[in-house]
A and B are shown apart, each in its own frame.
Chain A
Amino acid sequence: MFFLLSIVVGGLFAMGLYLMLRRSIVKLIFGLVLLSHAANLAIFTAAGLVRARPPLIPKGELVPGTEFADPVPQALILTAIVISFAVIAFAAVLVKRVYRTVGSGDLDKLTATDR
């Protein structure tokens, strides 16, 4: 499972970066979405995969058993998902504004502030 998820994470990164390098402004947004998913999945995978062992403390004990699913990375991912949701929503609106003001969805045409 670890191996499989690692490949999925790598694939998501590759796709996200590829989409970001395309000229279409809509693909840029999709690229950003994929990248943030990839990052979340990377945290989840890197922190260790434990199957069907919730971090519950048995009665009369002080700590959960020897091996348990670590809740911290899941909390981190939850926070990161909320943040990326807000940021992507903002970026989507921004893209719409750019399309309206520049009149084109081609990133290569957005050079007015570079010169």
Chain B
Amino acid sequence: MNNLLILPILIPLVTAGLSFIAWKSSRMQRIFGLVGAGALMIAAIGLFMSVYADGIQVLQVGNWPAPFGITLIADLLSSVMVVLTALVGLTVAVYSLAAVDQQHISFGYFPLFHVLLTGVCGAFLTGDLFNLYVWFEVMLMASFVLLVLGGEPPQVEGGIKYVTLNLLSSVTFLIAVGILYAVAHTLNMADLSLKLTKISQTHPSLILSVAGFFIIGFGIKAGIFPLYFWLPTSYHTPPAPTSALFAGLLTKVGVYALIRLFTLVFPRMTYTYTLLLTLAGLTMVIGVLGAFAQVEIRRILSFHIISQIGYMIMGLGLLVSNNPAARLLGIAAAVFYISHHIIVKTNLFLISGTIKALRGTYQLKSLGGLAASSPWLAVLFLIPALSLAGLPPLSGFWAKFAMIKAGLQAEQYLVVAAALAASLLTLMSMIKIWDEAFWKPAPEGDSSEGSHSTRTLTPRRLLLLLGPITVLAGLTVAIGLQPQLLFNLAERAAAQLLDSSGYIQAALAMGQVPLQPVDIVQGVMP
């Protein structure tokens, strides 16, 4: 029992509540927003230290014994994800102080921001499948409102697409949970893992179809290949800090859920892993090709999110391999990749917001000359951009290196080729932004162009905008120079994921209450 586990959920929730109370005072809301994000960071690091030192931490909520109550559980993957969530929360909260205008704050930007963090942290920490659904909904509900906050025409239009497709994914997820309960009569993920091993021998096709439901449900949320259409039509519409928050966290919750389910809950099924690996390859290539057609910075970056999701799913798909070393390396690479990606992607969206603050537009056509007028921003852009493309010595290089090495060990040469091609195309796409926005001379001529000349920002505002970007860029460089530290951590996390016995023992350790045996497939047979 460790009460620290509830803090990453409780702190943002309380912060959101306090901010709602201080509805009329935007100054108080800013203070609460910042302090809450800072407290979340401290709690997240505390939780991580405790997991790192003492192994998996469990909290049975309300002291209900294990498979009956809701279990909160943090293994290394969960705690790393919570730390990254807190990092994104803190940096975006600081950035928001300068980038979110009075109108958005008075509509409740900060409370919603923290409700979103509550949902994300809850999803990472829960050990109960239905509870995961609830946290997903908390997160989605906050993201719906944040997305359309301000009510600009593109926002509501992107919003309707986002809401529709995400509701579809929730319904799919819910049905899958229902069927899983019907066959296994439990929702605790550790307990499900034990029961499904038996059931999959007697009813393999049933388990396979439930797995299919989960792939569709989480696939929509993660944005994998045929299901990603909501993402590029909505992520570029809200203000920059909101899209940075979404880009850093939301799709990664989907990826996390897929990793959790297909390492812990479902027994090894070659078919689903092959499917995931194929989808991963297609996601990488099609996402990056989609970016080529775009001329707006945030739309380019949105398509790159999709492409990068492909790499993370590839690590999961490599479980298809018979070589245990390749399986371990694949999952470790996926964990490394997620960590690197969250930092880099949030940063790129924050930089796009700074460009907008300086020039008043996201359109590459009307941008230019930023390298001359703001050289510091140019350097800060190059670090995450080249890291995203995978150039040494930045974090992305090591993430891709590990992933491709795992792919070669697993002898999946086709997907390795796709990964290498997608990485080259990512570089081209980043060079396109660099060329158009930073390098080429600022466009001149049209009378309307006056509005796109560089604006001077007050030093305080500039500091608030560039501080978070610098911190994130510094982390990218630090991971790039010392990849071994993060990689050792990722490898330990992967070992925990692949050998789920530790997780199961920790989750169910409260002892079983004697109960009459229930016929486990009673529900599905009429």
Contacts and interface: CB of A to CB of B under 8 A. Distances in A.
Interface of A: prevailing SS? helix
A112 B157 contact: yes
Contacts of B168: 20, 35
Contacts of B167: 32, 35-36, 87, 91
Contact of B178 (A20, A28, A76, A110): A76
B157 A47 contact: no
Nearest to A75: B130
B233 A2 contact: no
Given A76-B178, A83-B137, A48 B522 contact: yes
Nearest to A111: B157
Interface string A54-79: 00000000010010001011001001
Contacts of B163: 87, 90-91, 94
**Listed residue (A72, A79, A90, A113) with the most chain B CB atoms within 10 angstroms of its CB:** A113
B176 to A, nearest CB: 10
A87 B141 contact: yes
Interface string B499-526: 0000000000000000110000011101
A8 interface: no
Interface of B: prevailing SS? helix
Nearest to B235: A113
Contacts of A20: 164, 168
B178 A113 contact: no
Nearest to B130: A76
Nearest to A91: B163
A46 interface: yes
B160 interface: yes
A48 B182 contact: yes
A32 B144 CA distance: 15
Given A42-B175, A43-B174, A94 B160 contact: yes
B234 interface: yes
Given A43-B174, A83-B137, A72 B233 contact: no
A7 interface: no
Interface stretch (B15-23, B72-80, B145-153): B145-153
B146 to A, nearest CB: 12
A76 B522 CA distance: 19
Contact of A112 (B151, B154, B185, B524): B154
A80 interface: yes
Contact of A113 (B137, B181, B233, B523): B233
Given A94-B160, A113-B154, A47 B141 contact: no
Contacts of B100: none
A25 B160 contact: yes
A48 B171 contact: no
Contacts of B177: 43, 76
A43 B156 contact: no
Interface string B116-144: 00000000000000100110010011001
A113 B175 contact: no
Contact of B181 (A39, A47, A97, A102): A47
Contacts of B236: 113
Contacts of B89: none
A43 B160 contact: no
B466 interface: no
Interface string B222-247: 00000000000110110000000000
A39 B176 CA distance: 9
A80 B167 CA distance: 12
11 contacts: A43-B177, A47-B182, A48-B182, A80-B174, A87-B167, A90-B141, A90-B144, A95-B160, A101-B153, A110-B160, A110-B161
Interface of A: 2-3, 20, 25, 28, 32, 35-36, 38-40, 42-43, 46-48, 63, 66, 70, 72-73, 76, 79-80, 83, 86-87, 90-91, 94-95, 97-98, 101-102, 110, 112-114
Closest 10 interchain pairs by CB?
A43-B178, A46-B182, A48-B523, A2-B526, A101-B153, A113-B158, A97-B156, A113-B233, A39-B174, A39-B171
